[in-house]
Amino acid sequence: MKIQSVEPIEVAAPADELSSPWSSTVILVRVTTSDGAVGWGEAPTTLMTHPVRESVREVARFYEGRELEEHAGSLREFERYSFYRSRSMEATSALSAVDIACHDLVGRSLGAPISTLLGGAVRRSVRAYSNGWYSDAIEPGEFAEKARSMVREGFRALKFDPFADQYRTLSAEGLDRAVARVAAVREAVGETVDLLIEYHGRFLPEAAMRAGRALDEFHPRFMEEPVLPELSDALAEFRRNVKTPVALGERLLTAADFESFLNRGLVDILQPDITNSGGFTYGREIAGVAAAHGAPVAYHNAFGPVQTAATLQIDAILPTFFLQESFEASWPVWKRSLVRGYSIASGEFPIPTRPGLGIEVDERAVDRYRSEIVDPIGPEPPWVIGGTWVRRGAGEGRRTARRPAR
């Protein structure tokens, strides 16, 4: 069974649907074999939608025409040819998507879930934390009410970014407002719900430490990416001065990166992203690094449903699994329609046990939402939950997709 084609497909929010920037585009990858079997992968998009899509076409040259059972060799050959791979998120994202799709195909051909291919599941479900729930929240009371709604849905852990438009530096007023938002959420949900503070890697070290010390009193379970990633060495001092554990990993691309951060004492909780850190092939290596250090793993999962399905398969085999990120409760309708086969209820994901990824992609929905859109610029960056920097009006947040010619 040969790999016949590797096709990147961009799908995006329809023009008439209000969508947070982080949810406005998805890159799916469809791998088709010579006997017509189809496997699916996904790659991240944040301000790199078209570069990632074109990188998939580069990766495809190493897979098309090769036997499916030799897909690991194709990955290693791309590794050898791609000179900047270990520092290029576009390259590793494209490679990840194709690797995920190949594993999906192998699992389907053998009638087994990918977790079985990886050695076998050690858990049947995983605890999730909710993200994305605080869109269009600026005032503390708005954060509190939206947090209560997530707890009513069964989530016992919530992640959010309380810093609004503060970037690099943090004003006294900006810190006070962030503290007020976290205090309101803590009061609304009580002490039994875990709070996870998202910094989005936006601060200089001094600002990050001031924020960390001020927010320690609310006993967060972790603080994510407190400093700008290019200043990551400062995390050692952050960890000495702030009590809350540090989580990071969505911008790390290789097992060696994770090993380095652990060895240098820069991180407590690892957050790899299966769609940019080499799919399942490199995912096994990262899991081994985490296990060797006894490091908890909470996979980053902020894009689309194929990513979630893939992440659940690797969650199933992780010896140091901690928590699983979920945006599902806050997804727009179009994104919910793309995939069937997994679910979340009362803050937990059952691990799918059907072959491959355990899902079915609705190709009619994929075709309906095909797009050529690029990430818009403003009023908020594409990594921001919509309406948390700038109060959105009735028309803001909509995306006009340029549909391809038929």
- In degrees and rounded to multiples of 5, residue 90 shows phi and psi of -60, -45
Angle in degrees, CA 87, 93, 99, rounded to 5: 120
Is the separation of the CB atoms in 25 and 11 below 8 Å? yes
Q: What is the mean pLDDT of residues 329-356?
A: 97
> Would you state the structure tokens that stand for residue 48, as one six-digit string?
């790199």
Report pTM: 0.96
- The whole-number pLDDT of residue 21 equals 81
> Would you state the structure tokens that stand for residue 205, as one six-digit string?
């070290």
At 279-316, the pLDDT tens digits run: 999 999 999 999 999 999 999 999 999 999 999 999 99
Question: Computed from CA positions of residues 178, 181, 187, 193, in that sequence, does the dihedral angle turn out positive or negative?
Answer: negative
Q: What is the rounded distance in angstroms from the CA atom of residue 358 to the CA atom of residue 360?
A: 7
Element (H, E) at 14: none
Domains parsed from the chain with CATH numbers: 116-357 (3.20.20.120)
Instruction: Please report, for residues 9, 27, 59, 89, 253, the alpha-carbon distance to residue 94 in angstroms, rounded to integers and kept in the order given.
Output: 12, 9, 7, 8, 12
- Catalytic one among 50, 71, 103, 300? 300
- Residue 200 catalytic? yes
Is the separation of the CB atoms in 276 and 250 below 8 Å? yes
- Residue 219 catalytic? no
- In degrees and rounded to multiples of 5, residue 124 shows phi and psi of -100, -15
Q: What is the rounded distance in angstroms from the CA atom of residue 177 to the CA atom of residue 183?
A: 10
Is the separation of the CB atoms in 223 and 203 below 8 Å? no
Under DSSP, the state recorded for 275 is T
Q: What is the rounded distance in angstroms from the CA atom of residue 338 to the CA atom of residue 305?
A: 7
- The whole-number pLDDT of residue 19 equals 82
At 91-145, the pLDDT tens digits run: 999 999 999 999 999 999 999 999 999 999 999 999 999 999 999 999 999 999 9
Q: Which of 165-179, 319-333, 381-395 has the lowest mean pLDDT?
A: 381-395
- The whole-number pLDDT of residue 29 equals 98
At 78-106, the pLDDT tens digits run: 999 999 999 999 999 999 999 999 999 99
> Would you state the structure tokens that stand for residue 71, as one six-digit string?
């897909």
Is the separation of the CB atoms in 326 and 333 below 8 Å? no
- The whole-number pLDDT of residue 30 equals 98
Residue type, 297: V
Q: Which residues contact 390 (CB under 8 A, 6 or more apart)?
A: 165, 379, 380, 396
> Would you state the structure tokens that stand for residue 347, as one six-digit string?
């803050």
- Mean pLDDT over all residues of the chain? 95
Residue for token pair 């995912």: 283
- In degrees and rounded to multiples of 5, residue 253 shows phi and psi of -110, -15
Q: What is the rounded distance in angstroms from the CA atom of residue 367 to the CA atom of residue 370?
A: 5
At 254-276, the pLDDT tens digits run: 999 999 999 999 999 999 999 99
- Catalytic one among 50, 200, 219, 293? 200
Neighbours of 240 (CB within 10 A): 9
Residue type, 382: P
- Give the residues across from 246 on adjacent strands: 223
> Would you state the structure tokens that stand for residue 241, as one six-digit string?
């001065």
Is the separation of the CB atoms in 353 and 328 below 8 Å? no
At 183-206, the pLDDT tens digits run: 999 999 999 999 999 999 999 999
Is the separation of the CB atoms in 143 and 130 below 8 Å? no
